[in-house]
């Protein structure tokens, strides 16, 4: 089943069940001081859950463009390394605002997956909230009973507050959730180890697909919970994961959502997908990031030097660096992926085609100027290498590495990689000292951050997002501070 048919089936099914299909909200949020990017389908309905808005329809469903690169949900480091986390992804969701509740939500999800889509029931597991002493909450037996109509006992798994209790913030609407996981391993593997042992264990083939949230409490400022007069349903399912399941693939990147783009990267770089882990990761990162960048631009967010724009710039540069380092792409290539992206996403999101020229131009210019910076940095680095070798020194000063990073956008591991080819290393302690000093300076400076890191505001808290490094297995160098 092709991706676009999957999306359509979801809409058709929920429409047939009296849901109104609503458009995706923008992925880049302009007027929300607490959130920079939409990270879940429910974001646009926040005010309904808070009781500030009356819902126009009691049942709605949609496909929402989400981005998880900051704050509470930051999946950037997983992207490309695993097969099922993206920066940008589509979340399919259905909502009930004070209308149907737990049992019906479970019935709908089950019917859609097993009857509409024909997914093998024996592969499915449901997690339910096990209860919590501090909150004086019992196990969510209501959900367990609803699942027991469909699933054997062993496929209904207790989950902790961390995984199975959703809260909007420190206060406000909250409630238990129930997640559907699927075991995609082959029969032999499934026989040798039961799937329930692998649920929620980051197993690449036993993955979460759908989260059903039962919003039934309000957390007050003193931490206590009171039942809500109106109970709501909020669900979210990863579209790319669902397509992978239905297309019988081992990875989201093997579906028709990503393959045309990956083929295009392969044709531009002359590197085959599958040639090595390192080049595969690079290709997946690029295939992922081009979506984020193109969709941000259609939402009116161009790469820039602060806030959301800086996050987008970092993601673009990250893709360029992966291409540069692992696929020998030293000419702008990202905008060359747009036709393939439009081929896969253009029908569902016509704004891509409508703004193709602008996206193309913005990406090309960004890339060109960043590549120049990279090249200037490399020339400088070569001079340093010559000097070091001439003097028979082995350790490059951390200050120099920091300058390369700070001024020329060179991540430390790229510097180290180039140096290692000549038998040189960086004084990392010194580098970290410089980095920390820079962090302190930026914390003190009120506005624009131009280093390769950024502090984002989310949920009213400053949160450090992480440095922009390569995170491949080969060159792991983490300087995350939090
Ligand atoms: P995971 O545990 O796999 O990180 P999650 O629990 O963080 O997922 P939810 O917040 O419950 O995810 O979001 C609802 C659904 O959206 C998930 O069940 C999953 O199918 C999908 N999803 C979440 N994060 C991503 C991502 N980074 N890329 C693709 N799909 C995702
Ligand atoms: Mg997650
Ligand atoms: Mg999860
Ligand atoms: Mg979840």
pLDDT level of residue 263 (50, 70, 90 thresholds): very high
User: pLDDT by residue (tens digit) across 332-362?
Assistant: 999 999 999 999 999 999 999 999 999 999 9
94-103, 421-430, 440-449 — most confident range? 94-103
Mutate to test the pocket of ligand 1, among 62, 74, 85 (most ligand atoms within 8 A of CB): 85
* Res. 409: pLDDT tops 90: no
pLDDT of 412 reads 85
Which ligand ends up closest to the CA of 80?
A: 1
- Whether residues 331 and 455 share a domain: the answer is yes
Q: Which atom of ligand 1 is nearest to the CA of 242?
A: 20
Q: What is the pLDDT of residue 442?
A: 63
Q: Which of 236, 245, 257 to mutate to test the pocket of ligand 1 (most atoms within 8 A of CB)?
A: 236
| C-alpha span between 265 and 270 (Å, rounded) | 8
What is the C-alpha separation between 298 and 350, in angstroms, rounded?
A: 10
pLDDT of residue 468 exceeding 80, the answer is no
Of 197, 218, 251, the position where a domain reaches its end is 251
Say what the pLDDT of residue 478 is: 27
The answer to which of 192-201, 249-258, 401-410 has the lowest mean pLDDT is: 401-410
Give distance in angstroms: CA of 356 to centre of ligand 2. Answer: 31
337 and 456 co-located in one domain? yes
Closest-CA residue, ligand 1 atom 26, reads 85
142 and 244 share a domain?
A: yes
- Same domain? For 212 and 307 the reply is no
Alpha carbons 20 and 417: distance in angstroms, whole number: 53
Ligand 1 atom 13: the closest Cα is on which residue? 236
Ligand approaching nearest to the C-alpha of 75: 1
End-to-end CA distance of the chain: 42
User: How high is the pLDDT of residue 376?
Assistant: 87
Mutate which of 38, 86, 235, 241 for ligand 1 pocket (most atoms within 8 A of beta carbon): 241
| 178: nearest Cα among 204, 150, 202 | 150
Distances, alpha carbon 291 to alpha carbons 33, 86, 211, 285, 315, in Å = 24, 10, 24, 10, 10
Same domain, 223 and 315: no
Q: What is the pLDDT at residue 70?
A: 82
Predicted local confidence at residue 416, as pLDDT: 87
DSSP 220-274: -TTS-EEEEEEEEEEEEEEHHHHHHHHTT-SSGGGSTTTHHHHHHHHHHH---TT
Say if residue 273 is in the same domain as residue 292.
yes
Assigned domain for 478 exists: no
Assess whether 323 and 222 both reside in one domain: no
What does the pLDDT average to over 409-436?
Answer: 88
Considering the domain boundaries, does residue 471 fall inside one? Answer: no
| Shared-domain flag, residues 16 and 132 | yes
Instruction: State the average pLDDT over residues 462-476.
Output: 32
Give domain status of residue 144, yes or no. yes
Q: How far apart are the C-alpha atoms of 160 and 132, rounded to whole Å?
A: 8
Q: Which atom of ligand 1 is nearest to the CA of 87?
A: 27
CA of 388 to the centre of ligand 4 (A): 51
Q: Which of 60-64, 294-298, 313-317 has the lowest mean pLDDT?
A: 313-317
**Domain end residue (candidates: 251, 270, 285):** 251
Q: Could you give the dihedral angle defined by the CA atoms of residues 426, 432, 438 and 440, in that order, rounded to the nearest 10 degrees?
A: -170
- Output phi, psi for 328, to 5 deg: 55, 35
Kindly indicate the confidence band of residue 321, based on its pLDDT and cuts at 50, 70 and 90.
confident
Tell me the pLDDT tens digit for each residue of 45-67. 999 998 889 999 999 999 999 99
* Number of domains, the chain: 2
Ligand 3 mean position to 134 CA, how many Å? 22
Please tell me which residue, 108 or 314, carries the higher pLDDT value.
108
Q: What is the pLDDT of residue 447?
A: 36
Is 475 a domain residue?
A: no
Pairing relationship of beta strands 206-219 and 172-183 according to DSSP bridges: antiparallel
Ligand nearest to the CA of 237: 1
One domain for residues 302 and 340: yes
Question: Which ligand 1 atom is nearest residue 179's CA?
Answer: 18
Residue nearest to atom 7 of ligand 1 (CA): 73
Q: Is the pLDDT of residue 136 over 60?
A: yes
Question: Where residue 105 sits, what CATH number does that domain have?
Answer: 3.30.930.10
Tell me: do 75 and 224 sit in the same domain: yes
Given ligand 1 and candidates 69, 238, 257, which is best to mutate, with the most ligand atoms within 8 Å of its CB?
A: 238
Percent of the chain with pLDDT over 90: 77
Do residues 360 and 213 share a domain? no
**φ, ψ of residue 118 in degrees (nearest 5):** 70, 25
Same domain, 319 and 446: yes
**pLDDT over 70 at 120, yes or no:** yes
pLDDT tens profile 376-396: 888 889 999 999 999 999 999
Number of other CB atoms surrounding residue 390 within 10 Å:
8
The atom number, within ligand 1, closest to the CA of 75 reads 27
**Residue 110 Cα to chain centre, angstroms:** 25
Question: Does any domain span residue 14?
Answer: yes
- Complex ipTM more than 0.95, yes or no: yes
Average pLDDT, rounded, for the chain = 89
- Burial (CB count within 10 angstroms: exposed 0-12, middle 13-18, buried 19+), residue 228: middle
Residue 54 lies inside a defined structural domain of this protein: yes
Nearest ligand (C-alpha, residue 68):
1
Q: Which residues does a 6 A CB cutoff place in the pocket of ligand 1?
A: 40, 68, 75, 85-86, 89, 91, 208-211, 236-238, 240-241
pLDDT for 77: 86
pLDDT of amino acid 448: 35
- Output the CA 238–ligand 1 centroid distance in Å: 6
Tell me: pLDDT of 476 over 80: no
pLDDT for 32 equals 81
Confidence band of 444 (pLDDT split at 50, 70, 90): low
* Centre of ligand 3 from the C-alpha of residue 350, in Å: 31
Asked if pLDDT for residue 458 goes beyond 60, the answer is no
Q: Which ligand is nearest to the CA of 86?
A: 1
What confidence category does residue 171 fall into, taking pLDDT thresholds of 50, 70 and 90? confident
> What's the gap in Å between 204 CA and the centre of ligand 1?
13
Of 192-201, 310-319, 422-431, 462-471, where does mean pLDDT reach its minimum?
462-471
Spacing, Cα 445 to ligand 2 middle (Å): 32
In this structure, the residue with its CA closest to atom 19 of ligand 1 is 238
Q: Which of 187, 220, 251 is the last residue of a domain?
A: 251
Greater pLDDT, 76 or 247: 247
Using the mean position of ligand 4's atoms as its centre, give its distance from the Cα of residue 163 in Å. 7
For residues 218 and 213, give the distance between their C-alpha atoms in angstroms, rounded to a whole number: 14
Please report whether residue 469 resides in a domain: no
Max CA separation in the chain (angstroms): 77
Structural domain for 219, as ranges: 3-251
Residue 156 lies in a domain: yes
- Residues whose Cβ atom is located within 5 A of ion ligand 4: 211
Question: pTM (2 decimals)?
Answer: 0.87
pLDDT over 70 for what percent of the chain? 91
Centre of ligand 3 from the C-alpha of residue 200, in Å: 7
Q: Residue 443's pLDDT is what?
A: 64
């Amino acid at each position: 089943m092709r991706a676009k048919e999957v999306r359509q089936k979801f809409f058709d099914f929920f429409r047939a069940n009296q849901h109104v299909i609503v458009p995706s909200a923008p992925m880049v949020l302009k007027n929300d001081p607490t959130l920079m990017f939409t990270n879940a389908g429910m974001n646009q309905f926040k005010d309904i859950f808070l009781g500030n808005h009356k819902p126009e329809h009691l049942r709605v469903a949609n496909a929402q463009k989400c981005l998880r690169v900051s704050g509470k949900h930051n999946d950037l480091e997983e992207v490309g390394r695993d097969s099922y986390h993206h920066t940008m992804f589509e979340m399919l969701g259905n909502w009930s605002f004070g209308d149907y509740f737990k049992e019906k939500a479970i019935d709908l999800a089950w019917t859609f997956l097993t009857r509409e889509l024909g997914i093998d029931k024996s592969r499915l597991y449901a997690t339910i909230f096990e209860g919590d002493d501090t909150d004086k909450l019992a196990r969510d037996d209501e959900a367990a009973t609803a699942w027991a109509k469909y699933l054997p006992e062993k496929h209904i798994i207790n989950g902790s507050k961390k995984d199975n209790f959703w809260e909007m913030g420190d206060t406000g609407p909250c409630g238990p959730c129930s997640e559907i996981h699927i075991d995609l391993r082959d029969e032999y593997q499934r026989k040798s180890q039961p799937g329930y042992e692998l649920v929620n264990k980051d197993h690449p083939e036993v993955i979460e697909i759908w989260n059903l949230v039962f919003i039934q409490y309000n957390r007050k400022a003193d931490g206590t919970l009171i039942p809500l007069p109106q109970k709501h349903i909020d669900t979210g399912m990863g579209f790319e994961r669902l397509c992978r399941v239905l297309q019988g693939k081992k990875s989201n990147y093997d579906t028709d959502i990503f393959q045309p783009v990956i083929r295009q990267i392969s044709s531009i770089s002359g590197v085959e997908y599958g040639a090595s882990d390192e080049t595969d990761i690079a290709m997946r990162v690029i295939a992922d990031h081009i979506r984020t960048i193109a969709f941000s631009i259609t939402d009116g967010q161009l790469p820039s030097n602060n806030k959301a724009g800086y996050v987008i710039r970092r993601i673009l540069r990250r893709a360029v660096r992966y291409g540069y380092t692992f696929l020998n792409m030293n000419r702008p290539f990202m905008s060359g992926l747009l036709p393939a992206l439009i081929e896969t996403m253009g029908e569902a999101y016509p704004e891509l085609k409508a703004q193709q020229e602008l996206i193309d131009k913005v990406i090309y210019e960004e890339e060109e100027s960043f590549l120049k910076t990279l090249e200037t940095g490399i020339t400088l680095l070569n001079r340093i290498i010559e000097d070091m070798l001439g003097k028979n020194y082995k350790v490059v000063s951390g200050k120099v590495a920091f300058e390369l990073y700070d001024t020329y956008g060179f991540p430390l591991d790229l510097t180290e990689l180039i140096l290692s080819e000549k038998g040189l290393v960086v004084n990392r302690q010194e580098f970290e000292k410089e980095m920390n000093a820079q962090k302190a300076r930026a914390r003190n400076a009120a506005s624009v951050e131009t280093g390769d890191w950024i502090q984002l505001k989310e949920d009213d808290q400053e949160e450090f997002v992480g440095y922009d490094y390569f995170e491949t297995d080969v060159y792991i160098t983490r300087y995350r501070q939090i």
